[in-house]
Amino acid sequence: MEMGDTDDKEELIAEVINAPVSKALNISGSDFVGTMSDAAVEYFSTSAIYWATEGNFSFYNSAKWSYKKPDSKPENAFKCAAQRGKCECAMGSTIYYGAKNDEDRLDETQAYFKGEADFSGSTNCKNSIFGDPIPGTSKYCFCDELANEIHPVAEFCAENGETCDCESGNNVAYGQKLDGDDNTTNIDLTYRHWEQAADASGSQACEASTFGASSGLENYACFCEGAPAYDNFCSNLDVEQYVGCFEDDEYDRDFEELLSSSIYKPQECLDLVWKAGYQYAGIQAGSQCWGSSRIVGKHGQKDDCTYKCSNGQECGGQYSNTVYKFAFTMDELCSGEKLLEMTRMVAYNTDIIPFAQASLANPSGDGVTFVMEDKAGTSWEMEAVRQSDGSIRGFKVGEECPYYESEGWTYANLIKNSYGEYAILESWESAVDDFTFVWEFAEFGSQAP
């Protein structure tokens, strides 16, 4: 199927997934596809069709279909594992599965599938995960970490054979050097690299043997990876980026909504746009604040954003927008309220659902650490796993969860349907054959104190 045949791909995917989706989620294949962006349809139009078959559709992959995947290029992907091996690839990155060429890169002349790296950072490289794009041919996994926008900054700390100073709590990466235009040395994520936690002493040898890497690698060095780029997903502090000055048209507006005509300074507009849930902020004519979720700039760039807000900062021009973009947008789970669980369950054996009528809350207010409480009053923490666009993909379940060992519950997906309803989905080892999900879609609602 040619690139761009989105309607045809939507119809095909909807037809293939209709039976398993209807059985598992009680919605039609068309409704499910309706939650997918055009980019997601394009992204999953090959391997997703394999996953959508009756025998392979599962809670794990279904929760990943509706979001827009960042752009990924096969030429940026490094070989991370042979077939039946384990690919070490950062969560949120893209993994390609196919044959290799003479340069140990993905052979793009042959069919290949692609998918998202597992949240654990270690993904099984085999047909049962990706499907088989070229039967009878040896296949490999190739990781593109450049598609993972929220990737920790890695700073050069030592040449190969030297000692890397990196504080405990950070990670040390061993990888190919890339010289930047500003005379800096960066890690080249398009080549294989190894990572491990920094030594408690804050100092460790930068050698291949330290990381379990192959010896004799040329141009390799060590890099100290700091904390994740963001530690709070419920605040717009330092998450905006200046994009530039762009033209607007009075009769064909670039932005979706005018939020205010009397802002005093750019930060006031950024706060309004953040709270409204938009990703782009536009400041025009010295006092107007616009918000948009769609990509802006359709009328092109300009250099006449000469108007000033009352505080003296640049605030657009006459039909020109000073544009900012947020790295991510605030989600509904940042409300700080305790949310009731979904009450409509999909199960033929309710005895294996000891925590029905549970609640979910984010008492820390950071969008990272959530607390789940079952109907018996037992609670446990869950760490939000976010996609590269900042939205929650699911939760890592902590060891204090009473079902961590007994049921093997270490991860739970969060999925949202076309009606704006959420579900936390999990498959249990002790479930009967006809039981796939703990909870079906139902709307979260505020719980009375």
Q: Which residue has the higher pLDDT, 385 or 224?
A: 224
Is the pLDDT at 62 greater than 80, yes or no?
A: no
Percentage of the residues of the chain whose pLDDT score is greater than 70: 69
Rg (Cα) of the chain, in Å, rounded? 24
Query: Using an 8 Å Cβ cutoff, are 145 and 108 in contact?
Result: no
**Backbone angles phi and psi of 147, in degrees to 5:** -80, -5
Helix/strand/coil for 195: strand
Is the pLDDT at 172 greater than 80, yes or no?
A: yes
Count Cβ atoms below 10 Å from residue 422 Cβ, excluding itself.
21
Q: Which of 73, 50, 72, 11 is nearest to 134 (CA)?
A: 50
Give residue 35's pLDDT band: very low, low, confident or very high (50, 70, 90): low
The first and second tokens of residue 309, run together, are: 């807000």
Q: What is the pLDDT of residues 228-285, one digit of tens each?
A: 667 788 999 888 989 999 999 999 999 999 999 999 999 999 999 999 989 899 999 9
DSSP-assigned letter for residue 76: G
Give residue 184's pLDDT band: very low, low, confident or very high (50, 70, 90): confident
Q: Write down how long the chain is.
A: 449
Is the pLDDT at 405 greater than 90, yes or no?
A: no
Give residue 129's pLDDT band: very low, low, confident or very high (50, 70, 90): confident
* pLDDT score of 56: 45
- Average pLDDT, stretch 89-97? 81
- Average pLDDT, stretch 380-384? 86
Helix/strand/coil for 267: helix
Give residue 63's pLDDT band: very low, low, confident or very high (50, 70, 90): very low
Query: Using an 8 Å Cβ cutoff, are 143 and 78 in contact?
Result: yes
Count how many Cα atoms sit within 13 Å of the Cα of residue 21 in the half-sphere of its side chain.
23
* pLDDT score of 440: 34
Place of tokens 């976010």: 386
Q: Which residue has the higher pLDDT, 236 or 428?
A: 236
Separation between Cα atoms, residue 131 and residue 283, nearest integer Å: 47
Least confident of 145-149, 170-174, 278-282, 332-336: 145-149
Q: Enumerate the β-bridge partners of residue 2.
A: none
- Average pLDDT, stretch 109-134? 81
Q: What is the pLDDT of residues 351-372, one digit of tens each?
A: 434 444 567 888 888 988 888 8
Amino acid residing at 352: I
Amino acid residing at 336: G
Cite the beta strand spans of 122-271 per DSSP E: 122-125, 140-144, 154-159, 163-165, 171-179, 185-187, 194-197, 203-205, 220-225, 240-247, 257-260
Separation between Cα atoms, residue 391 and residue 117, nearest integer Å: 16
Q: Which of 22, 86, 56, 62 is nearest to 393 (CA)?
A: 62
Percentage of the residues of the chain whose pLDDT score is greater than 90: 29
Give residue 426's pLDDT band: very low, low, confident or very high (50, 70, 90): low
Give residue 306's pLDDT band: very low, low, confident or very high (50, 70, 90): very high
* Inter-residue long-range contacts of 7-12, CB under 8 Å, 24+ positions, other chains counted: 9/41, 9/42, 9/45, 10/36, 10/41, 12/45, 12/49
* pLDDT score of 5: 61
- Written as one string, the DSSP assignment of 84-104 is TEEEE--TT-EEEEE-B-TTS
Name the pTM for this structure: 0.57
Average pLDDT, the chain: 76
